[in-house]
């Protein structure tokens, strides 16, 4: 509940739709290749399988958020969406915290938690990897180590569990 009544439900939720089918429908070959490259990169970083969030966002992992206005819900740790003009890359904790990395990233524009790139060749993928890893680490510090992938998901993926880290 909010002071104005019931809280609006988050419309962007995980679905059972096929990520591969979605990406294979992208008409532009370069964009399609970039998307499959992002899938490989984000899968490696998060150790999570790609999942469609709504009709057009490919997400990896999830966590529960609550912002200052009281709005809360679940969202992906990271993800992307192939839009008409840009690839939109989602970095959950935002991009302003790391101006040192942003200055090395390459050609892009930003929103609050969105990175807009015309093509992956325009940015340094090693820097993008660091930005995403930093974002996930920040979420873990804030929300604990049990953010996705969960221990159960790690076991399924063959990842050995680590001891609880002091935060």
Confidence check: pLDDT of 147 > 80: no
| Residue with the larger pLDDT of the pair 61 and 144 | 61
Q: What is the pLDDT of residue 160?
A: 53
More confident residue, 76 or 53: 53
Cα–Cα distance for residue pair 65/72, rounded to 1 Å: 5
pLDDT tens-digit readout, 60-106: 998 887 777 877 788 888 999 999 899 999 998 778 888 899 999 99
| Cα(124)–Cα(107) distance, integer angstroms | 9
- At residue 142, the pLDDT reads 77
All structural domains of the chain, each given as residue ranges with its CATH number in brackets, are: 19-153 (3.90.1150.200)
Contact 63, 93 (CB under 8 A): no
pLDDT average, residue stretch 133-151? 71
CA distances in angstroms from 129 to 91, 105, 142, listed in the order given = 10, 10, 20
Mean pLDDT of the chain: 82
Phi-psi region of 91 (alpha: psi -120 to 50; beta: other; left: phi over 0): beta
User: What would the pLDDT profile of 102-128 be if each residue is shown by its tens digit?
Assistant: 999 999 999 888 999 999 999 999 999
Residue 151 binned pLDDT confidence (cut-offs 50, 70, 90): very low
Residue 58 pLDDT exceeds 90 = yes
φ, ψ at 87 (rounded to 5°): -90, 125
Using alpha carbons, select from 77, 76, 88 the residue that is nearest to residue 120: 88
pLDDT at 25: 97
Model pLDDT, residue 158 = 55
pLDDT at residue 63, rounded to an integer: 82
Q: Of the candidates 147, 124, 144, 125, which has an alpha carbon nearest to the alpha carbon of residue 76? A: 147
Q: Is 11 exposed, middle or buried (0-12, 13-18, 19+ CB in 10 A)?
A: exposed
pLDDT > 70? residue 144: no
């Amino acid at each position: 509940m909010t002071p104005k009544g019931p809280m609006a439900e988050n419309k962007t939720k995980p679905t059972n739709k096929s990520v591969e089918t979605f990406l294979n429908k992208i008409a532009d070959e370069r964009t399609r290749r970039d998307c499959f490259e992002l899938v490989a990169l984000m899968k490696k970083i998060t150790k999570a399988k790609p999942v469609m969030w709504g009709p057009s966002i490919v997400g990896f992992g999830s966590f529960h958020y609550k912002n200052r206005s009281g709005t809360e819900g679940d969202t992906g740790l990271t993800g992307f969406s192939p839009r008409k003009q840009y690839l939109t890359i989602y970095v959950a904790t935002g991009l302003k915290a790391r101006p040192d990395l942003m200055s090395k990233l390459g050609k892009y524009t930003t929103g609050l938690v969105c990175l807009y790139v015309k093509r992956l060749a325009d940015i340094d993928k090693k820097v993008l990897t660091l930005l995403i890893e930093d974002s996930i680490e920040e979420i873990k510090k804030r929300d604990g180590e049990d953010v996705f992938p969960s221990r159960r998901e790690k076991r399924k993926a063959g990842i050995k569990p680590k001891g609880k880290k002091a935060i």
